[in-house]
Amino acid sequence: MKGIMSSLSTPPRKRVGPTSWVRGGGLSNLIFLLPTLVVFGVFSWYPIGRAVVMSLQQTNLVTAAQWVGLDNFRHVLTDPLLLTALRNTGYFALLALIFGYPIPLVLAVLMSEVRRARGLYSALAYLPVVVPPVVAVLLWKFFYDASPTGVFNTVLGWFGIGPYPWLQNESTAMPSLVLEATWAAAGGTVIIYLAALTAIPPELYDAASVDGASIWKKVWHVTLPQLRGVLLLTLILQLIGTSQVFLEPYLFTGGGPSNSTMTILLLIYNYAFGQSLGGDFGAATALSVMLAVVLGVLSAGYFRLTRSWAAS
């Protein structure tokens, strides 16, 4: 038995017969890789390839698939709903940035200065993240009750504000969705920021203090520049996440009122599995592939970033 480290220590064998292959660990290598190869092969690599093929085909699962060239793409690009979905998804992403980007940062910076029971703070911030998303949406759906006795309208009523129609109105539906999504996700971002904040070398603050920098100056000239990398990272992650938003529009509003919360993923779902449209797998995959190309560029940017930090 050559041993498992042989791949490192011995030069490549010239002629590899089946026996020496097994003896050299070739068989056990393959046995250990088998779960990865099978599961990724069947449930990841094969479907990815199939998505590209299907976007060029017309399938109804009954008759054989037909090659239709770029027809699916043409069909999707001329669908008037696409523009609506694009605009809504962009609006969702923008609102999610406005609500969800600065708040976790401010919270994390304040929390990092807490001296006692910081664990309690982190736990409280993270608690909404562990609530199952479906439960959160159903709960908030009730909170958003448009009548004056709705939960939010009652609370706002104490301050003489409202009542608001929340999900019932075209202009307030999307912000309501984003508010819930932000509540559900902010805790995770806070923890990422906290981890980054504890990693800032304390010498930098000491040096700034020695130079007589005020607290505000330290935040501006030490904390924020040191967080630059992780801020960009969460920005990209948030864009990737929000452009695939599905659960909130699907369960809160089903895309309504009058398509004001129809998002790209909801449109894909409707093409493939929707009640009325349904079964148009070609259009669904064509739109998925287009979305994937855009997100792939973002992901590639994310990987370049993480790699260059690790290298520096």
Partner 1 sequence: MTTSVEKPDTAADAVQPRMPLRPAGAEPAAASATRQPEVTGAIVSSADRRRPLVRRCSASLNTVVLVVLLILGLGPLLWLAKAAVTPTQDTLRLPMSLWPHGLAWSNLSTAWTTMDLGRSLVNTVCIAAGAWFCQIVVATTGGYALSVLRPRYARIVTGAVLSTLLVPSVVLLVPLYLTILNPPGVGHSLINSFWAVWLPAGANAFNVLLVKRFFDNLPREIFEAAEVDGAGPYRLFASIVLPMSRPILGVVSVFAIIAAWKDYLWPMLVLPDPAKQPLSVRLPVLAGSVELGTLLAALMISTIAPVLLFLVVQRLFLRGAGLGGALKG
Which residue's CB is nearer to partner 1, number 130 or number 171? Answer: 130
Identify residues 64-103 at the interface with partner 1 (CB under 8 A). Answer: none
| Closer by beta carbon to partner 1, 251 or else 277 | 251
The one-letter code for the residue type at 47 is P
Closest alpha carbon to 100 in 244, 143, 261, 108: 108
The residue (of 213 and 257) whose beta carbon lies closer to partner 1 is 213
Cα four-point dihedral sign 208, 214, 215, 216 = negative
Residue 15 makes contact with partner 1 by CB under 8 A = no
Smaller CB distance to partner 1: residue 35 or 160? 35
Q: Which is nearer to partner 1, 171 or 216 (CB)?
A: 216
Shortest separation between residue 170's beta carbon and partner 1, angstroms: 23
Among the listed ranges 74-82, 88-96, 165-173, 213-221, the one in contact with partner 1 (CB under 8 A) is 213-221
Q: Which amino acid is at 15?
A: R
Q: Check binding of 244 to partner 1 (CB under 8 A).
A: yes
Among residues 138, 169, 211, 278, the one that binds partner 1 under rule CB under 8 A? 138
> How many other C-beta atoms can be found within 10 angstroms of the C-beta atom of residue 306?
13
- Interaction of residue 279 with partner 1, rule CB under 8 A: no
Bin 18: left if φ > 0, else alpha if -120 < ψ < 50, else beta.
alpha
Q: Judged by CB under 8 A, does residue 202 bind partner 1?
A: yes
Specify the stretch interacting with partner 1 by CB under 8 A; choose among 28-36, 78-86, 89-97, 169-177. 28-36
Should residue 44 be labelled a site residue for partner 1 when binding is judged by CB under 8 A?
A: yes
Interaction between residue 60 and partner 1 (CB under 8 A) = no
10 Å CB burial of residue 162 (0-12, 13-18, 19+) is: middle
Nearest CA-CA partner of 121 in 174, 197, 231, 179: 197
123 binds partner 1 (CB under 8 A): yes
- From the list 66-74, 91-99, 165-173, 299-307, the region that binds partner 1 by CB under 8 A is 299-307
With contacts defined by CB under 8 A, name the span among 74-82, 159-167, 170-178, 280-288 that binds partner 1. Answer: 280-288
Contact flag: residue 10 with partner 1 (CB under 8 A) = no
CB 51, min distance to partner 1, A: 5
Judged by beta carbon, residue 171 or residue 236, the one nearer partner 1 is: 236
Residue 62 binds partner 1, judged by CB under 8 A:
no
Q: What angle do CA 16, 19, 23 make, to 5 degrees?
A: 90
Instruction: Judge residue 101's burial from the number of C-beta atoms within 10 Å of its C-beta, 0-12 exposed, 13-18 middle, 19 or more buried.
Output: middle
- The Cα–Cα gap between 260 and 253 comes to 9
224 touching partner 1, by CB under 8 A = no
209 in contact with partner 1 (CB under 8 A): yes
Helix 170-198 and helix 80-100: axis angle, to 10°?
50
Q: Which two tokens stand for residue 237?
A: 């992650």
Of 104, 94, 111, 97, nearest to 186 by C-alpha is 104
